[in-house]
Amino acid sequence: MAQKTRLITTSGTAALLWQTSTGVAPDTAVAPTSGIYRAGTVNDPVPIIIQNQDGTNSVEIGGSGVATGPTGTILLANQSITRNVVGNDSEYVVAVAGTPVVSVEVGRQ
């Protein structure tokens, strides 16, 4: 898998950061431009890096119900977090304040 990068401008509503799928029905089709990527297996996880590119505002990341409150994991300004994902999963983002831009990089060398 080549590296795929996506930028998401956040708001007060949860937005999809990434989703993994096998691409086989009934799973969602794989469409990297929309943040849906081919899933890895137990022996071949998909590495994902999430970076808050905002210099001031934090975001929260978590499941589809993530909201400011806190209800998710806080990702501070200019910070990043790495995930190794297998199977079908997803993660969402919501702005704590402002409209921070969050980048997602998926893939392996």
CATH of the domain at 49: 2.60.120.770
- What is the identity of the amino acid at 38? R
Q: Which residues span the domain enclosing 71?
A: 4-106
Each residue of 35-86: pLDDT tens digit? 777 776 777 788 999 999 999 999 999 998 998 888 899 999 999 999 988 8
Q: Which of 17-26, 53-62, 87-96 has the lowest mean pLDDT?
A: 17-26
Total number of domains in the chain: 1
Determine contact, residues 93/53, Cβ cutoff 8 Å. Answer: no
Quick one: pLDDT at residue 36?
Answer: 73
Could you tell me where the beta strands, DSSP code E, fall in the chain? 4-9, 15-21, 36-38, 46-52, 59-62, 73-75, 80-85, 89-95, 101-106
Is residue 18 over pLDDT 90?
no
From residue 44, alpha-carbon distances to 6, 79, 84, 85 in Å are 22, 26, 9, 9
Quick one: pLDDT at residue 42?
Answer: 72
Quick one: pLDDT at residue 29?
Answer: 67
Tokens 């990068």, located at residue: 5
